Amino acid sequence: MIKKIDITNPKLAAEVLQVQIPSYKIEAQIIHYDEIPPLKDSIETLQQCGEQFYGYYTKDELSGVISFKIENRVLDINRLFVHPKQFKKGIAQKLLDFIQDSMTGFDKIIVSTGSENLPAIKLYLKNGFIKTKDRQITEHMSLTLFEKIFY
C-alpha cells in the first residue's frame, strides 16, 4: 500500500530515515562515493526539505519512499529508495508508477542518480526517461540526469 507521509511528524521522519540510510549506504557502495547528501540527513533536515513524501508499506512497515517537489510544472524526484531487505520486489517501480499515474500539475519529470548506479539507471530508462547529461560533482563522483516529458 502507498500512502502520503507527513514528513513534519518527527516519528514519521524517523521511520523514513530508518529506510533511507541503509538504502543510500548500498548506493554509496555501488557508486564508490560515501558523501552523498541523503546519508547526512537527520530528522530535522527531512522535516525542513519541503518535499512531498509517499511511502510503500509492506504489512504496515515502511519499505520504500519517493519524494519530490513540483515547481514550474516540473516534478523533480528528489529521493526514490527501498530498504535493502525489500530489494528486487518491484517497490521502486510501484512508487514511480504511483507518482506518474496519480500526481497532476506537471509536464515533465526530472531525476538524477549516481552515474554508476546501474539498477537506478535501468529503472529510469525502462520507464521512458531519457538521459539528458552527466554532471561531474567531484573528482570521483558524477550524476546522470534524466527527464521524461508528458504531452
Which tens digits make up the pLDDT trace of 76-131? 999 999 999 999 999 999 999 999 999 999 999 999 999 999 999 999 999 999 99
CA 33/CA 101 separation, integer angstroms? 33
Q: What is the pLDDT of residue 97?
A: 97
Question: What does the mean pLDDT of the chain come to?
Answer: 96
Angstrom distances, CA of residue 76 to CA of 60, 62, 112 = 27, 22, 9
pTM of the full predicted structure?
0.95
pLDDT category of residue 146 using cuts at 50, 70 and 90 = very high
Q: What is the pLDDT of residue 150?
A: 87
Domain coverage including residue 72: 2-149
CATH number at residue 11: 3.40.630.30
pLDDT category of residue 140 using cuts at 50, 70 and 90 = confident
- Count structural domains, the chain: 1
Pairing of strands 61-71, 74-82: antiparallel
